[in-house]
Amino acid sequence: MSDFADLTIRQAGEGLRAGEFSATELLEAVHKRATMTEAELHAYLTIDRNGAARMAVAAESAFRRGEDAGPLQGIPVALKDNMVTRGVETTAGSKILAGWIPPYDATVVSRLQAAGAVVVGKTNLDEFAMGSSTENSAYGPTRNPWNPDTVPGGSSGGSAATVAAGSALGSLGSDTGGSIRQPAAFCGVVGVKPTYGLVSRYGLIAFASSLDQIGPFARTVDDAAVLLEAIAGHDPMDSTSYSGEVPDLRSGLGAGVQGLRVGLIAEMMGGEGYDPGVVAATRQIVAGLESAGATVAEVSMPSVDYALSAYYLIAPAECSANLARFDGVRYGLRVTGSTTEEMMANTRGEGFGPEVKRRILLGTYALSAGYYDAYYAQAQRVRTMVIGDFERAYEEVDVLIAPTTPTTAFRLGEKASDPLAMYLSDICTIPSNLSGHPAMSVPVGLDESGLPLGVQVLAPALGEPVMFRVAGEIERQASFSHRARLASSVVPR
Amino acid sequence: MSEDAGTPPEVDIDIRRVARLARISLSVDELATYEEQLPVILHHAARVQALPTEGIEPTSHPLPLVNVFRSDAVGECLDRDEVLAEAPEVQDHQFVVPRIMDEA
């Protein structure tokens, strides 16, 4: 392919180092693609042309001086707009933060910059990362590059869509209940939720702090590992960040799966709400792993049937506390009132969208006197049971496999008026957030309507090396082409 | 989703009261919507109550962290003017809010 916007990070890095094109030319190709796709997709909230141009020139000068900060130097990447960027508007998809210019950079932003990456812009998301379709953005929805009548998933729908469409070579999202893996599956790209704590959350606008984790989107498993390596590691600014050694993420790539023990999560292999095609694709992938030398067993995790219920108490409870900071006092929107309390209530009533209010109300209720034990404390005990199920499973197997989502991408508006139906689309991804374990989605093919199918690889805490190893084998067997059949209305051939 | 773990109890939620606690003003339409939706969601969430969890400790966080300390050293902090530039109302390097001393 001649268009640089379709290169993988690895290929682009080789081209830059061979002098085939410059970082500025690569950025121009990505900008050209964005100009072509944005009118339909609306994947970006902000494209920072000047900032990106400066970073591209800096990467070029570094190459000329013989300085090489590694595989991301000169690579155009996108950031979900809930990661704060000094001097560049950051909204979290909310009206309450319209026009906010953060006075600092998130740690992941500083790390990408130190690695020489070129930040193209900030991507669209469900408001404060609450949603599964990117329809909850106060700035309008993002559409799926494979079929613009369908959603890209969410909440990191913009970040997934940019990578699928070529308006970035890689991107970062955040995953609280599946917000990286589900859009990755819907958009036919790789998406990784790392082990809780592996990536600093400093400067990530908090939704549910015990569940939130930043991770990469990329077109290949190897590219995803490159991005994760750049952002992983201890950060004193995040007291929950992991302080040990970061495992060598790529140590197992290409090693195959001979001798590995693979478990299929029985509770996620069909039933109400599951597309038979999604389940069949997952079985086919597992059969492929078996023929490549892995041993396969079905594993039962009974508590995962209750994980969704627990999640919709824990996440709203944490969000109701985290979002208390948006009160019209120090930054963002203020709507006047005769008293401070009235000013705050008016500001929040006007500034938050319907889903954010819904979750704050749920969380406030679950934490309120008289209900705390029945709801929040009980959900926390279920969380313990989910962790226990995972730990028992990992005594028997090295990795677990499941669908990423029970269905492929759904149509815009299809679930917008039924919050519970929307929540159910995260049923396969939520358990990993409750347990803090890593999980990733790998694209494996298309369903009968031409929409991407994703399969999820789950691993124990800090099990990223074996997770990437298995994902790499799945990718090799599926030989999924990310670009081949994107909607021609989005990317003309 | 199986509903075999027993029927959760009826949900008793006063949306007005919860909205007041959460400092969110709601329109009449919003109130009606949430009065319809929240009990349905809570009814689903209440399935957690059907599980036998006696003797199971609650988990609040995936990492077994207790206290994380750092040395009490002077470091860089945010620039005051840059921070105040983003505030809705500022006077003499301070955030301005409606007066609170006369509130009931």
Percent of chain A exceeding pLDDT 70 equals 98
pLDDT of A483 > 70? The answer is no
Q: Rounded to a whole number, what is the distance in angstroms from the first to the last CA of chain B? A: 49
* pLDDT of A490 above 90: no
Contact check, Cβ <8 Å, A333/B88: yes
**Which of B38, B59, B98 lies closest to A343 in CB terms?**
B98
Residue B17, min C-alpha distance to chain A (Å): 9
Q: Residue B93 has what pLDDT?
A: 95
pLDDT band with cut points at 50, 70 and 90 for residue B62: confident
Could you tell me the maximum CA-CA distance found in chain B, to the nearest angstrom? 62
The residue of B59, B77, B78 whose CB has the most chain A CBs within 10 angstroms, and thus the best one to mutate to test that interface, is: B59
Q: Is B68 on the interface with A (CB under 8 A)?
A: yes
Q: Please state the pTM of the whole predicted model.
A: 0.96
CB proximity A240 to B under 8 Å: yes
Q: What is the pLDDT of residues A148-184, one digit of tens each?
A: 999 999 999 999 999 999 999 999 999 999 999 999 9
Q: Which residue in A has a C-alpha nearest to residue B17's C-alpha?
A: A365
What is the predicted pLDDT for the residue at A449?
A: 93
In whole angstroms, how far apart are CA A227 and each of A105, A115, A370? 18, 10, 45
pLDDT tens, A22-63? Answer: 999 999 999 999 999 999 999 999 999 999 999 999 999 999
Which helix (H) or strand (E) segment holds residue B38: the answer is: helix B28-45
Contact with chain B for residue A322, Cβ under 8 A: no
Cβ contact A349–B82 (<8 Å)? no
Q: Which residues of A are catalytic?
A: 80, 155, 179
pLDDT score at B103:
52
- In the numeric block, the tokens 């900032």 are attached to A51
**Is the separation of the CB atoms in A124 and A158 below 8 Å?**
yes
Q: Which residues of A touch B82 (CB under 8 A)?
A: 103
Chain B residues in contact with A267 by the CB 8 A cut-off are: none
Q: At A286, which amino acid appears?
A: V
Nearest chain B Cα distance for residue A436, angstroms: 5
Interchain contact A362–B (C-beta under 8 A): yes
pLDDT digits (tens, 9 = 90+) for A122-137: 999 999 999 999 999 9
The answer to whether residue A22 neighbours chain B at the CB level (below 8 Å) is no
Q: Is B1 in a helix, a strand, or coil?
A: coil
Segment A82-120, tens digit of pLDDT: 999 999 999 999 999 999 999 999 999 999 999 999 999
pLDDT value of position B67: 84
CB contact under 8 A, B48 and A313: yes
* Residue A420 confidence class, pLDDT cut points 50, 70, 90: confident
Mean of the per-residue pLDDT values for chain B?
Answer: 87
Among A76-90, A307-321, B3-17, the least confident range: B3-17
Those residues with Cβ within 8 angstroms of residue A73's Cβ, 6 or more apart along the chain or in another chain: A13, A16, A23, A59, A62, A63, A115, A116, A117
pLDDT beyond 70 at B1: no
Instruction: Answer yes or no: are the C-beta atoms of A185 and A471 closer than 8 Å.
Output: no
Binning pLDDT at 50, 70 and 90, where does residue A394 land? Answer: very high
Q: How far apart are CA A339 and CA A337, in angstroms?
A: 5
pLDDT tier at A456, thresholds 50, 70, 90: very high
Mean pLDDT of all residues belonging to chain A: 95
CB contact under 8 Å between A306 and B45, yes or no, is: no
Q: Does B42 touch chain A (CB under 8 A)?
A: yes
Of A337, A349, A384, the CB nearest to B26: A349
Interface of A with B in 200-239 (CB under 8 A): 210, 236, 239
Joined together, the tokens standing for residue A444 give 């494996």
Tell me the nearest-neighbour CA distance from B5 into chain A, angstroms.
Answer: 10
Torsion of CA B45, B47, B48, B51, to 10 degrees: 180
Which has the higher per-residue pLDDT, B81 or B8?
B81
Say yes or no: B95 contacts chain A, CB-CB below 8 A: yes
pLDDT confidence band for A189 (50 / 70 / 90): very high
pLDDT confidence tier of residue B4, bands split at 50, 70 and 90: very low
Q: Does A196 touch chain B (CB under 8 A)?
A: yes
Nearest to B100 among A310, A340, A387 (CB): A340
pLDDT for A2 beyond 80: no
Contact B63 A354 (CB under 8 A): no
With a CB cutoff of 8 Å and minimum separation 6, the contacts of A239 are B65, B68
Indicate the pLDDT class of residue B11, thresholds 50, 70 and 90: confident
**Nearest 5°: phi and psi at B103?**
-65, 145
Convert chain A into a string of H (helix), E (strand) and C (coil).
CCCHHHCCHHHHHHHHHCCCCCHHHHHHHHHHHHHHHHHHHCCEEEECHHHHHHHHHHHHHHHHCCCCCCCCCCCEEEEECCECECCECCCCCCHHHCCCCCCCCCHHHHHHHHCCCEEEEEECCCHHHCCCCCCCCCCCCCCECCECCECCCCCCHHHHHHHHHCCCCEEEEEECCCCCHHHHHHHCCEEEECCCCCECCCCECCCCCCCCEEEEEECCHHHHHHHHHHHECCCCCCCCCCCCCCCCCCCCCCCCCCCCEEEEEHHHCCCCCCCHHHHHHHHHHHHHHHHCCCEEEEECCCCHHHHHHHHHHHHHHHHHHHHHHCCCCCCCCCCCCCCHHHHHHHHHHHHCCHHHHHHHHHHHHHHCCCCCHHHHHHHHHHHHHHHHHHHHHHHHCCEEEEECCCCCCCECCCCCCCHHHHHHCCCCCHHHHHHCCCEEEEEEEECCCCCEEEEEEECCCCCHHHHHHHHHHHHHHHCCCCCCCCCCCCCCC
Report whether A131 contacts A54 (CB < 8 A). no
In this prediction, residue B8 has a pLDDT band, given cuts at 50, 70 and 90, of low
Contact B37 A328 (CB under 8 A): no
Residues of A in Cβ contact (< 8 Å) with B24: 345, 348-349, 352, 357, 360-361
Residue of A nearest to B59 (CA): A380
Q: Answer whether B91 touches A (CB < 8 Å).
A: no
- Taking an 8 Å cut-off on Cβ atoms, the answer to whether B21 and A364 are in contact is yes
The reply to whether A251 touches chain B by the CB within 8 Å rule is no
At A1, the pLDDT band (50, 70, 90 cuts) reads very low
Tell me how far apart the alpha carbons of residues B61 and A48 are, in angstroms, rounded to a whole number: 36
Q: Which of A34-43, A367-376, A456-465 has the lowest mean pLDDT?
A: A367-376
Look at residue B92 and tell me whether its pLDDT is greater than 80.
yes
> Chain B contact for A342, CB < 8 A?
yes
